[in-house]
Amino acid sequence: MKILWLDLNSSYAHASLALPALHAQLLHRKDLTWEIVSATINENPGMIAGEIYRKKPDLVAATCWLFNHEMLMHILGRAKALLPEASIALGGPEFLGNNEVFLRNHPFVHCVFRGEGEEVFAQWLDVWNTPEQWNSIEGLCYLDSNGQYRDNGLARVSGFDRLTHPEQSRFFNWEKPFVQLETTRGCFNTCAFCVSGGEKPVRTLSIDTIRERIRTIHAHGIRNIRVLDRTFNYNSNRAKALLALFREFPDIHFHLEIHPALLTDTLKEELADMPAGLLHLEAGIQSLREEVLETCHRKGKLQDALEGLRYLCNLPNLVTHADLIAGLPLYHLTQLVEDVRTLADYRAGEIQLESLKLLPGTEMRRRAEELGIRYSPYPPYEVLQTREITPDELQRARLLSRLLDAYYNTSAWQDITRRLITEQPDFLLHFLDHLIARSVIDQPMSLERRGIILYEYCKTCYPDYTLAVSLAWIEAGMSLKKQPAERVRTKHVTPPADWQCCWGTYHEGLRLCKLEDESTHRCYWYGFETEKQETQPCLKAVSILA
C-alpha cells in the first residue's frame, strides 16, 4: 500500500508534526510505502495535484487546520479527479466539531479523524479498504454505503508517554529554524475559545524522556525549541524541574507558554535566576477584564495574573509576550485599547492583538448564539460582531494590531512607541487614524518608512517626542541623510572635553556624529566603526551644551 502525505503549510518556515508523529508509530509496518508532497498555501493547486498524481498513491492523507483548509480542498478535489481509485483521509483540529456537513460537501474525502490519531490511524490502516469495519475505529467520522453519517466520537491516545517519538521518523524535518517538542497533552484550564479547553487529564512526559529528546534535537544543530505545553507552570514542581532541565542546554532558546496567575514565589525565584536569552515566555492574558475572563471560563484570578505578568515583564533576563483577543464576549473596544496601554506600561516584550476565532469543537462556538456572537462560517471563523463590539470596531481592532506589529513589536521603535502609548492617552487611536488616512496601515512598510512616518507625525502632533524618534533612528542604523536625522551633524565633529559615555568605547578611529537639543541643553554623540562599514553606532555619549 502506498500512502502519500500532503504536507501543506502556511509557509516553509513552519513544519507540521502530524506526519512524523503518525509515521513513527508505523515503523514496523513493512507493507507500507510512504511518499510526501510538501507545499505552501501560496502555490498553485493544480501543480500540487499534478505532483500527487505522478506518485500514484493508494491513499492521500493530510492534516487540516483553519489556515490551510481552503487550499487543501482545492488540491484534494483535483487529486481525486485525477486518481478516482485513491482514498482520501484527513485529520486535524478542523474536525473537532460535527463533521457531517463537511463530508457531504466534500464527497471526495472518504473519512476524517476527530482527536488524536497516533493509535487509531494505525488501526484504520488494517481496514482502510473495508469500510464496513470502520465502526470500530475510535474518532472516525464517515458516510457509510447507505449515505448515513457515522460518528465514532473522540480519539484519545491511551499511552501518550509510550508513543514512539516523532524525531525517530525519517519525515521529521530538521531543516527548519526551530522544532516543536510536545511535552504534554491536554490542559488544566477550561477556556471556552480553545480546542484544548477542558481536555483532561493532562498527560505528561517524564523529565528523563524530555531530556533524551532535547539531546537528539541538539545533536542535529537545532537551537530553537517551541515547547508544546498549554501551560507549563500548571504544576509548580514540574515547572521547576523543567527549568532545571533547560539550564542543561544553555545554547538552546526555549519558547514556553506560561499562566502568570499561577506563579508561585519559588517559581518566581527560579525564573529570575535563569540565564539571559534562554527563555521566551508567552503569557496568556486575553483580556484584563474579570467579567470577560469569567465568561470565557478561564481559570485564575485576574489580580494574580496582572501581578504575575508585571513581575515577568520586569525580569531583565527574560522576554515576555502578552496577548489580547478582540471579539471576546463582554469586551468593548475602549477596554481593549486601555488594556493595550496597561501592557505597554508593564513593558511587555510584545503585545499580540488577535481577533477571536470560533474554532470547531469549542464551547464558545456551541454557545455563539447565546453569547450574541456572529462569526464567519468559513475558515478562519473570525468573529464579525458581538453585543459589545460592532463590525467596524472589530476592523479597527484588526488595524490596531497592525500598528502594534509595525511599531511596538519592532525593536527599533518599541521604546519610543511605548512612551507615546503610556504618556499620551490619545496617541494609539489618533496615530491609527493617521496611518489609515495615509493608506499605509494595511501595506507592508520597511523599517525606514515606518520611522519617517512616525517622525513626521510627531513633528506635527507631539513635537516633544521628535528627539526620541531621531535617536531611535540613529541607533537602528538608519541613513543619516534622511529626515529623522535632519538635525544630525556629521562634518567636522570632534569629541568634547567631557562627555558621559552611555555605551561603547571611544577610540580615535571612530567616525562621530552629534545631535544638539536646545530644549534639554544636551548634545548626543554617536560613534561608528569606519573599517567595518557598520550602519549601527558602536558608541553613544551625552554632553551638556555650552
C-alpha torsion sign, points 386, 426, 471, 277: negative
Give residues with Cβ within 8 angstroms of 268, minimum separation 6: 311
Report the pLDDT value the prediction gives residue 177, as an integer from 0 to 100.
84
| Coil vs helix vs strand at 516 | strand
Report the pLDDT value the prediction gives residue 139, as an integer from 0 to 100.
97
Which residue matches cell numbers 524530555? Answer: 210
Please state, for a pLDDT cut of 90, what percent of the chain lies above it: 87
What letter represents residue 488's amino acid? Answer: V
Strands (E), 311-411: 319-326, 350-355, 374-375, 383-385
Exposure of 450 in the CB half-sphere (CA atoms within 13 A): 26
Report the pLDDT value the prediction gives residue 198, as an integer from 0 to 100.
59
Report the pLDDT value the prediction gives residue 192, as an integer from 0 to 100.
82
User: Can you tell me the distance from the alpha carbon of 161 to that of 349, in angstroms, rounded to the nearest whole number?
Assistant: 34
- Residue 200 banded pLDDT, cuts 50, 70, 90: low
Report the pLDDT value the prediction gives residue 158, as an integer from 0 to 100.
84
Residue 111 · residue 125 · CB < 8 Å: no
Give the residue among 48, 414, 19 at the shortest CA–CA distance from 180. Answer: 19
Report the pLDDT value the prediction gives residue 247, as an integer from 0 to 100.
97
Mean pLDDT of 350-366: 95
Q: Is the pLDDT of residue 187 over 90?
A: no
Mean pLDDT of 355-374: 95
DSSP state letters, 378-389: STT-BEEE-SSS
Mean pLDDT of 82-96: 97
Give residues with Cβ within 8 angstroms of 426, minimum separation 6: none
Report the pLDDT value the prediction gives residue 234, as an integer from 0 to 100.
86
Residue 425 · residue 382 · CB < 8 Å: no
Q: What is the pLDDT of residues 465-517, one digit of tens each?
A: 999 999 999 999 999 999 999 999 999 898 998 999 999 999 988 999 999 99
Give residues with Cβ within 8 angstroms of 536, minimum separation 6: 475, 476, 477, 528
Strands (E), 13-123: 33-40, 59-63, 87-91, 111-113
Which residue matches cell numbers 470565557? Answer: 296
Grid coordinates belonging to 121: 490511524
Mean pLDDT of 26-51: 95
User: 66-75, 198-207, 465-474: which range is least confident on average?
Assistant: 198-207
Q: What is the pLDDT of residues 215-246, one digit of tens each?
A: 999 999 999 999 998 778 888 999 999 999 99
What rounded mean pLDDT belongs to the chain?
94
Residue 470 · residue 478 · CB < 8 Å: no
Give the H/E segment covering residue 9: strand 2-9
End-to-end C-alpha distance for the chain, whole angstroms: 84
DSSP state letters, 411-455: HHHHHHHHHHHHH-TTHHHHHHHHHHHTT-TTS---HHHHHHHHH
| Coil vs helix vs strand at 517 | strand
Q: Is the pLDDT of residue 298 over 90?
A: no
State how far the alpha carbon of 102 is from the alpha carbons of 73, 99, 142, in Å: 11, 5, 10
User: 111-125, 287-301, 395-409, 464-478: which range is least confident on average?
Assistant: 287-301
Mean pLDDT of 108-119: 96
Give the residue among 484, 478, 504, 508 at the shortest CA–CA distance from 495. Answer: 508
Report the pLDDT value the prediction gives residue 290, as an integer from 0 to 100.
94
Q: What is the pLDDT of residues 121-150, one digit of tens each?
A: 999 999 999 999 999 999 999 999 999 999
Distance of CA 266 to the CA centre of its chain: 28
Residue 347 · residue 316 · CB < 8 Å: no
Count of other CB atoms within 10 angstroms of residue 77: 16
Mean pLDDT of 83-97: 96
Mean pLDDT of 44-70: 96
Name the residue ranges covered by the structural domains of the chain: 2-151, 177-388, 410-484, 487-546
Mean pLDDT of 151-164: 93
| Coil vs helix vs strand at 336 | helix
Which residue matches cell numbers 552611555? Answer: 502
State how far the alpha carbon of 462 is from the alpha carbons of 311, 426, 435, in Å: 31, 11, 15
Give residues with Cβ within 8 angstroms of 323, minimum separation 6: 282, 283, 284, 285, 286, 351, 352, 353, 354
Mean pLDDT of 104-108: 97
Residue 127 · residue 135 · CB < 8 Å: no
Which DSSP state fits 407? Answer: I
Report the pLDDT value the prediction gives residue 15, as an integer from 0 to 100.
73
Report the pLDDT value the prediction gives residue 520, as an integer from 0 to 100.
86
User: 3-17, 240-254, 356-370, 472-486: which range is least confident on average?
Assistant: 3-17
Q: Is the pLDDT of residue 56 over 80?
A: yes
What letter represents residue 104's amino acid? Answer: R
Per CATH, the number for 177-388 is 3.80.30.20
- Tell which CATH classification among 2.40.50.100, 3.40.50.280, 3.40.50.300, 3.10.20.30 matches the domain 2-151: 3.40.50.280
Exposure of 39 in the CB half-sphere (CA atoms within 13 A): 22
Q: What is the pLDDT of residues 312-328, one digit of tens each?
A: 999 999 999 999 999 99
- Enumerate the β-bridge partners of residue 100: none
Which DSSP state fits 534? Answer: -
